[in-house]
Structure 1
C-alpha cells in the first residue's frame, strides 16, 4: 500500500497533537472590533489644502487600520457651524475636529499660542517646539479640562499679510480699518488703531464684497485664489507678520480616543503627523504658481508692508504676548517655553537657514 506524503503528514500531526491540535486548528478567530467616528471641521467641505487635510487624515486612518476605524468628515455647517467645532468634540457630538486653536481664544485665551504668535516661530520651528520642545505637552494640559486631546494637524507656512482696498504706506492707514484677522494678530491690529473682526473662511468674500470689512487675511495665494479674493480687493500685502508658522489642530474627544485599542491610537497619532507634514509640503509646492496667476492673470498688485509699519506692529505684538502670558501660570509657562525655544532656534538658524538664504541671494555676476 502506498502512503502519500500528505497522508503521512496528517498521521504525524494527529499522533503528536491528538484532539487538542484539531481543536486549535478549527477554533474560530473572533472578528476585530470596529469603530465609526465623525470629524467636524471649520473649513468648507473638500476646500483645497485646509479642507483636504481632514479628508487625508480620515483616509489614512481607515487604510492603516484595515477598515477598523472609519471616520466620516463633515465640512463647516454640515453637522455643526464652523465656530462650534471645539464644543462639539468636547461634548462628544463628534469624536474629532479640525480647525485652528485661536478660534477658541474667547473660551481658552492661551489657545492662540498654538496657532501662531505674531513675529514668532515659523512652521519648521513650531513643529520642532511641539514635538521636541515640550509644546505638545503644554497644549494637552491646556485642553485637559475640556476633555480634548490635541495634535498638530497641518501648517501652511508663512502667510500673506492680507487683502486691502487701500494702500498701506504708514501706520496712519491702519486707523479705522475693519479687518478680518483673528488670534493674537487681531489684538495687535486693534491696538494699532484698526478693528479686528472674526469671520470664518466661508464668510470673508461676502463680508468684503458688501463693505462690512475693509481688509482680510486668510492664508496665502493657493487658498486665496480659490476663494476669489482678487475679485473684491486690489492690494495683496506681505509678509504675514501675524501668522509666521500657523499650526492647525486635530482635536480628539478624550473618551473616544481612550476607547481605542493601543494600535489604533498609534495609527491616529501617525496619521495626524502625516497630515501635518503633508499640508506644509502642499502649500510650499502650490503657493508660487497661484501667486503668479494672481499677479499676471488677474492684475493683483503685490505690495510689501513698509518697514516702519512692521517695526511698530512688532513692538505692539511684544506687549500683547507679555500680557497674555501674565493671565495665569499655565499661560506663563507656555509663553516662556515658546520664547526660550525661539531664542535657541534663532541662534542656530542665524548660521544655517538664514545664512543659506543670504548666500543664495548673492549675485554670481559680481
Structure 2
C-alpha cells in the first residue's frame, strides 16, 4: 500500500512543482519585461507621465515637421553642408519622428532674417551666427565672436561649463528662442585686401566688409565697415563697392573665388578667433517637446559643433596650400604694431558694448572671466606646446 500510494504522490508533486516553476518563470518574465521597459524609458529620457512614453524608446509622440532657415548659400561647403548634416542627424536620432526641411538664405527669408522668422513663429529654427542679431542686443555678439575674444575651445568651455549657456538662454528667451551651439569655423583669416596694409594709417577710408563688433573696431581705425551676406561679397569686390573683405577662411574663401579678384590675403583674423555658429529653436516648440525629443536636439547640435570644427580645420589647411601654390595668393601677416592697435581698440569696443544694458554687462563680465582663465591656461598648455613643436617641425 505504501508503494502504491507513493507513486501517485510523486506524480502529483511533479505536476505541482512544474506548475509552480512555470508560474515563477512567467512572473520573472513579466518583471523582467517591466524592468526592461522602465530602463528603456529612462534611457530615452521618458518620465512615464506622457502618453508618448507608452511605446518605449522608438516612440516620440506626435510627428514633427520643422522648417530650418539659414544664413548660408545652399550646399555651401562647411556651412550649407553642415546644416544639412545637422538636419539629417536629427531625423536619424528621432527615427524619423522629427523631420527637418532646410531653407538656404533667400529661399524662405533673407540671410539675416532667421531670428525674426523663428521669434515670430514663421519658421521653427535657424542656423546662423549670433552677431547678426546685434541690433536686438549687443550681448548676442559674445555668443558668436568678438574681436580679441576666445578660441573655439575656450568658447565651448565658457558656454558649457562657465555659465555662458544660462546667460544665453536668458537673453534669447526674451525673444522666444532656445539657443544651442551648432558649429564652429575656428580661427578666421584677417581678410582680402586690394592694397598692402603695412601700417594703421592704411585702414583710413578703407571700405571693408566686416560684421559685428569687429566692424566697429574697423570704424575706429578710420575704415568704413559694411555688412553684406556671404553671397554678395564677390560681386561687391569685383565691382569696387568694397576695398577689402573678411569672410571665413581658406576653404570657404577658395570656394567663393575671391583669389580671382584680390591677391593680398592677411592673417590673423582678430575679429573672429573662434566663430561659434548656432541653432535657434522657437521656444514654444522646445517647451512642447518630450524630454527625449529635447535630448535629441541637444545631442545633434553638440555633435555638429564638434564635427564642423574638425572639418574646417582639415580643409582650411589644404585650401591654403591651393591658394598660395596654385593661384599665386600672397599670404601676409599684420604687423605687431597693427595687432597692438587692434587689440587696444577691441578692448574699448567691448567695454562700450558692456555699458549698453544690464544683460550685456552680465554677459560681458562672464565672458571676460572665462577669457582670462583661457589665456592663463592656454599659455602653459596649447601655446607652450605649439612653441615646442615649432622648434623641431616647421
User: Which TM-score applies when normalising by structure 2?
Assistant: 0.84
Structure 2 partner of 1:321: 350
C-alpha distance in structure 2 between counterparts of 1:235 and 1:363, whole Å: 29
Structure 2 partner of 1:134: 163
User: 2:288 matched to 1:255?
Assistant: no
C-alpha distance in structure 2 between counterparts of 1:86 and 1:49, whole Å: 21
1:8-157 superposed matches below 5 A: 32-157=61-186
1:260-271 superposed matches below 5 A: 260-271=289-300
Larger Rg: 2
Question: Kindly tell me: are residues 364 and 84 of structure 1, through their superposed partners in 2, closer, same or farther at Cα, counting changes over 3 Å?
Answer: closer
C-alpha distance in structure 1 between counterparts of 2:377 and 2:200, whole Å: 33
Which of 201, 204, 214 is 1:172 aligned to?
Answer: 201
C-alpha distance in structure 1 between counterparts of 2:202 and 2:371, whole Å: 31
1:169-318 superposed matches below 5 A: 169-318=198-347
The C-alpha deviation readout for 1:303-328, integer Å capped at 9, x for no partner, is: 00111111111101100000101111
Q: Secondary structure at the match of 1:82?
A: coil
User: Mean Cα displacement is larger for which, 212-221 or 104-113?
Assistant: 104-113
Segments of structure 1 that go 5 or more residues without pairing to the other structure are 1-7, 18-28
C-alpha distance in structure 1 between counterparts of 2:114 and 2:391, whole Å: 48
User: Mean Cα displacement is larger for which, 138-147 or 213-222?
Assistant: 138-147
C-alpha distance in structure 2 between counterparts of 1:124 and 1:253, whole Å: 27
Q: Secondary structure at the match of 1:302?
A: strand
Structure 2 partner of 1:5: none
Shift of 1:232: 1.4
C-alpha distance in structure 2 between counterparts of 1:336 and 1:33, whole Å: 42
Structure 1 partner of 2:3: none
> Is the 2:137–2:360 Cα contact (8 Å) retained in structure 1?
no
User: Which TM-score applies when normalising by structure 1?
Assistant: 0.91
Shift of 1:363: 3.9
The C-alpha deviation readout for 1:38-80, integer Å capped at 9, x for no partner, is: 0000001111001122111111110011000000101000111
User: 2:374 matched to 1:345?
Assistant: yes
Shift of 1:364: 8.0
C-alpha distance in structure 1 between counterparts of 2:252 and 2:382, whole Å: 26
